[in-house]
Structure 1
């Protein structure tokens, strides 16, 4: 029975790993594992194989390919926005609503897949699931460019959305895998900014492509870029999910030590049962976790407004200000400026504030430390919507609605950054599943809201139409932030999912 105090450590000898029996170190992280000599875990809190201990460069080379996949998928979701009228004429869509459906149905696909890709990534690992989704996306996005009928375009867009959704939830899991809470600010900023920049860059590129080439190249160009990222990023993207890495380590040790009894704490459940548990986890999180429910609703609404603006933005510049499609698409730059400034400046402020609150709390970080910046963003989003809506008039200079759009874009980025940080900090091990639950509602509303845009603005105009959107954003965002400021700790304490990995 004495050997129950022995822990398996791997020791590197040349190019091979051997196993030695050693007395447990006094580190608390190792003491639990030392109770069973056959349990394979990290070799202490500083184990270099643990993704959280990887060198900074290695972390970022694993994160950036995923962010590029995210960026390209988001470009694809919006590139065809300036081409809607051309597509409607060429493919003979019967109504404006149907051609807008072809744009937004991509997002309906993204609402479904994260419920499966996120849990699958928590079983098989992030890398294989993410790259499989990307190949699926490239295939059907290319077919969108070859569509001959409205039905073909809508179907291929939906299928492309299924593949393009891979990075949305998996990316939050990769962030949780690689970075500790105090390190996540810049990583989350890159992950969040990539799709938001994508939905801005996409229409700009689409405006020039449709005017000087063909709307079909809106799809072909993105597919070519996606294939390039897939090929170039393949050697750099490494598996980051700790349970999968530990299982691989266990298999190596079983082979090198000839000890079939070695196991990890994740081996106690059979593969079918693990798949079942993982598949229903996002639904459980959405159905039982008030934190996920609140942030899902808020993110869904913000994302819906963003795509509503993207779908209607060209009309403001071509109809109200009589600009060409290509020149009008350049006004999307205002959204990019607002988002970029918020991402860089807001992230630095948020990180400093988070560090300051951690220091006051004895070095212990809490998800609630991200809320002060979040409530600021909740206040400036309505300002941007009011400004944009009431200044979009022929007798008002075109720079004014651009300023409003920039303010709105900046506020949206701040909110999504803080919400993601809160969710990742709260559900670290299950961050991908938690974000999948958020993405479901987010994508559904982003799919649905653009469909009501023609009726909204035809009946209320840009002024009152955007005012209505602003009132609803205020009603959801500010009370939600205040409520979680006071009740968040109690909700986390009661949750079986809100624990450190």
Structure 2
């Protein structure tokens, strides 16, 4: 007689843990159930899994935990039931790690287009400041609250979206966020009230946040850690270059047509992107694909069982087993939605308060991000007062942001290949990712000092433009280093660590634009820029400290020690 096997299901504290590892790795990382003793068959067809683990639930139904490595004997099922419904096609449920390069590239390009669009919306609002301020009779600071509203939506939304991404997958969250993004942009375009504009700017930021936060999960769903640098560099480039283009293109629009076209052309782009996502964006979350695969398989097996139990059908031979069914371990281990929301909202702040690495890396990235958002106000202020630039010319200056980002992305991909070829041992520790960042991040303070002391009208405008490009390369290196290092160090807690720095980063981006104009006007352009450069230079010490002492710091961290001791560490 087959005995029922009891099992204690374990919940992991981080609801986004699964997208740091492949499903097969996750299956290997928890306590295994005790297999039922004895070989068994399904309608006299041997199960082809090596050492299959089978259990029974309270209803007496046999089941296995399904992984991407589970061999499903569909042909044998079909041959033993020749008159039954043909078996389902399971190819669409293959592991994203095993997808072909074209399919991965399609999803990556679509994801980066979304990220580009999200970043574009941040900058486009700012370049249309003059006509909107005139319409609503707003001060510079009052108008900047639109940036604050967008950044706050961008900061808060990911913490609520993470559990839904785990349960429902990336694709539904992408589609829903794109719809929210689109509705928000339509409302901003047609509203006659600035108060309504602020409300919908928050929702635009909330919808856009998905395209900047969940993309990291999409990339880790498809690429193993050693293959992620190039996709992450492309993603980072789309985020930062989008900001520059969002200030460049609308600058040409405003001088020719009504300012509402700053929103209209984004609505057109978003509408097309939403359609493309609907038809071509594939689900990448492994646990969700496995759940859908298990559901389809179980429906097919139920049909076979009903057929076998029909009075018209011959009874199976005595001693043969009922058909095996399938479950997904992630579904069994998952906490309630309330619990996941609680963890998603509290764990990032716990890490921020208790982990020095998370705090200082978040501070480093947040300041760099705040400087980027300050340029929304600084560039029009400086180039209008010192060089008599109009809106279109000010928009063209922002091309330095995009060009600097593209150059930095190319450099990042090249130096990763160089490091693997020349210094393969660099990849053996998380600190290996910081060598290049230690040098390149210094370009941010260099660019800030350079910009501040070349803003005089007697100096050609190309000099501060080049300084902006220099600073942008530094910002890119910081952005990429923080993402990669936190993911390498915190593994199962990586999404929460990244959520922590994302919240701090966007909070500072929301606050800094509120005092940027007053700061540069009251202190003077060279002095204000030098103050930012000095703070940036001080924060540049962060990666150097970790480069030489990272291992010791991690050894003192309770969470890092737990990860290092875990057999599932990948």
- What TM-score do you get using the length of structure 2 for normalisation? 0.78
Partner residue, 1:39: 65
Secondary structure at the counterpart of residue 512 of structure 2: helix
2:172 aligned with 1:124: no
Partner residue, 1:417: 480
The partner residue of 1:22 within 32, 36, 48 is 48
Secondary structure at the counterpart of residue 38 of structure 1: strand
2:185–2:267 CA contact under 8 A, matched in 1: yes
* Larger-gyration structure (1/2): 2
2:251 aligned with 1:251: no
Distance in 1, Cα, partners of 2:339 & 2:281: 25
2:306 aligned with 1:239: no
How many angstroms does 1:232 deviate by? 1.7
How many angstroms does 1:270 deviate by? 4.8
Partner residue, 2:344: 279
How many angstroms does 1:427 deviate by? 4.3
2:359 aligned with 1:318: no
Distance in 2, Cα, partners of 1:270 & 1:328: 51
2:156 aligned with 1:112: yes
CA shift digits 1:9-46 (9 cap, x unpaired): xxxxxxxxxx9513528xxxxxxx7587712112179x
How many angstroms does 1:313 deviate by? 0.9
The partner residue of 1:265 within 329, 335, 348 is 329
Partner residue, 1:15: none
2:509 aligned with 1:446: yes
How many angstroms does 1:91 deviate by? 1.5
2:538 aligned with 1:494: no
1:376-391 alignment runs, 5 A limit: 376-391=439-454
How many angstroms does 1:356 deviate by? 4.7
User: Residues 336 and 276 from structure 1, CA distance in 2 versus in 1: closer, same or farther, beyond 3 angstroms?
Assistant: closer
Partner residue, 2:185: 141
Distance in 2, Cα, partners of 1:6 & 1:389: 77
2:460 aligned with 1:397: yes
1:55-204 alignment runs, 5 A limit: 55-93=100-138, 95-204=139-248
Secondary structure at the counterpart of residue 47 of structure 2: strand
The partner residue of 1:477 within 540, 549, 560 is 540
Distance in 1, Cα, partners of 2:149 & 2:336: 34
The partner residue of 2:268 within 224, 238, 242 is 224
Secondary structure at the counterpart of residue 396 of structure 1: coil
2:405 aligned with 1:339: yes
Distance in 1, Cα, partners of 2:516 & 2:130: 15
User: Residues 146 and 132 from structure 1, CA distance in 2 versus in 1: closer, same or farther, beyond 3 angstroms?
Assistant: same
How many angstroms does 1:500 deviate by? 4.5
Alignment coverage as a number of residue pairs: 482
Distance in 2, Cα, partners of 1:394 & 1:208: 24
Secondary structure at the counterpart of residue 242 of structure 2: helix
Partner residue, 1:49: 94
Distance in 2, Cα, partners of 1:427 & 1:239: 25
How many angstroms does 1:288 deviate by? 4.1
Greater mean deviation of Cα atoms: 416-425 or 445-454? 416-425
Secondary structure at the counterpart of residue 113 of structure 1: helix
Unaligned regions of 5+ residues in structure 2, if any? 3-33, 56-62, 72-90, 303-322
Backbone CA RMSD of aligned residues: 3.0
Secondary structure at the counterpart of residue 328 of structure 2: coil
1:77–1:104 CA contact under 8 A, matched in 2: no
1:168–1:439 CA contact under 8 A, matched in 2: no
Distance in 1, Cα, partners of 2:429 & 2:54: 30
Partner residue, 2:415: 349
Secondary structure at the counterpart of residue 342 of structure 1: helix
2:359 aligned with 1:293: yes
Distance in 1, Cα, partners of 2:39 & 2:198: 57
Distance in 2, Cα, partners of 1:216 & 1:76: 13
User: Residues 313 and 153 from structure 1, CA distance in 2 versus in 1: closer, same or farther, beyond 3 angstroms?
Assistant: same
User: Residues 112 and 485 from structure 1, CA distance in 2 versus in 1: closer, same or farther, beyond 3 angstroms?
Assistant: farther
Distance in 2, Cα, partners of 1:443 & 1:22: 51
2:165–2:173 CA contact under 8 A, matched in 1: yes
Distance in 2, Cα, partners of 1:75 & 1:273: 34
Secondary structure at the counterpart of residue 330 of structure 1: helix
Distance in 1, Cα, partners of 2:444 & 2:466: 12
Distance in 2, Cα, partners of 1:35 & 1:286: 42
Greater mean deviation of Cα atoms: 442-451 or 467-476? 467-476
User: Residues 493 and 154 from structure 1, CA distance in 2 versus in 1: closer, same or farther, beyond 3 angstroms?
Assistant: closer
Partner residue, 2:373: 307
2:434–2:481 CA contact under 8 A, matched in 1: yes
How many angstroms does 1:385 deviate by? 0.7
Distance in 2, Cα, partners of 1:5 & 1:315: 77
User: Residues 260 and 128 from structure 1, CA distance in 2 versus in 1: closer, same or farther, beyond 3 angstroms?
Assistant: farther
Distance in 2, Cα, partners of 1:6 & 1:450: 69
Distance in 2, Cα, partners of 1:211 & 1:256: 62
- What TM-score do you get using the length of structure 1 for normalisation? 0.88
Distance in 2, Cα, partners of 1:234 & 1:485: 47
Partner residue, 2:58: none
How many angstroms does 1:292 deviate by? 2.6
